[in-house]
Amino acid sequence: MTRPHPRLSINQATIKYASLAEALDVTREAGVEAIGLWREPVADVGLDAAVRLVSGSGLRVSSLCRGGFFTVPEGPERRAALDDNRRAIDETAALAAAGAPGSAAVLVLVAGGLPTGSRDLAGARGRVADAVAELEPYARDAGVTLALEPLHPMYAADRAVISTLGQALDLAERFPAESVGVVVDTFHLWWDPELFAQIARAGAGGRIASYQVCDWVTPLPADVLLARGMMGDGHIDFAPIGAAVDAAGYSGDIEVEIFNEAIWATDPVAVVERTVNAFAETVGLSAATGA
């Protein structure tokens, strides 16, 4: 087996059906140094137990997925969403503190889509900005960076009204870089003619809070939420994007996050081994090794 790249992080979503304990085990046993966590498997064991498991694993925590989903208008549903995001911020701080040195207290935020029945895209985007403004002081106090993730435009209606890196930066830049950054995800952004300019802009402002990789495969599957492919299986040229992210000054962990039924159906040990190898042959070829 290839020695894992020192900056490789296995995002838990890639091995979705593994429990937190299993995910930590297969990641550590493969020699991978970092993991990106999800709230649901953390909640399955409870935060205190999760903190102990993470602490005992010796792994770095590269992020917690995910908060957000705050496009609904003011009212009880919006208040509940914001309260839930505050809990996610607390969880992020606790889990990052439990991780090995070099862990990142980064909470990935997915904006949410249009509220049911609404066609007011500008309004939804405005409410995302309002939510970030409301959460930012709380995140700053907790030492957590909110990482705004632009999702592919094909999700704009039903999942995330933040669609480009430039748009995410326009919002992030209203706040201190320590508390609001962005996610660069190859799957969501590879097509963008402005990608390299916006990566440079993000780097200059110290805004790259997370770098996530996976491939764009065609034809898209029936459920486009599960369209993410293993690096090398699709159309993305990782070298220039990775070089741009490196040149922009990001030296943190690089998460592999793949939503894919076939990969989920595979034994997590095999998935991590395949991920280590695919990373080495694509992203790892050009990624600097010093974290």
Q: Which residues sit at the interface with a second copy, rule CB under 8 A?
A: 114, 119-122, 125, 152-154, 156-158, 163-164, 166-167, 170, 190-194, 216, 218-220, 222-224, 234-237, 240
Q: Which one, 60 or 228, has the nearer CB to a second copy?
A: 228
CB of 236 to a second copy, least distance (A): 6
What is the longest distance spanned by two Cα atoms in the chain? 53
The answer to whether residues 38 and 64 touch, using CB atoms and an 8 Å cutoff, is yes
CA distances from 175 to 110, 113, 156 (A): 18, 23, 24
Q: Which is nearer to a second copy, 190 or 250 (CB)?
A: 190
Nearer to a second copy, 75 or 222 (CB): 222
Least separation in angstroms between CB 265 and a second copy:
19
In the complex, minimum distance from the CB of residue 112 to a second copy, in angstroms, rounded to a whole number:
13
Which one, 139 or 169, has the nearer CB to a second copy? 169
The helix-helix angle for 121-142 and 76-98 (nearest 10°) equals 40
In whole angstroms, the minimum distance from the beta carbon of 266 to a second copy comes to 23
On the CB side of 117, how many CA atoms lie within 13 Å of its CA? 1
Q: What angle do CA 185, 9, 60 make, to 5 degrees?
A: 125
Task: Name the residue among 119, 189, 121, 179 with its Cα closest to residue 149.
Answer: 189
Q: For residues 80 and 133, which CB has a smaller minimum distance to a second copy in the complex?
A: 133
| C-alpha distances out from residue 104 to 34, 45, 230, Å | 10, 21, 24
The least CB distance from residue 156 to a second copy, in Å, is 4
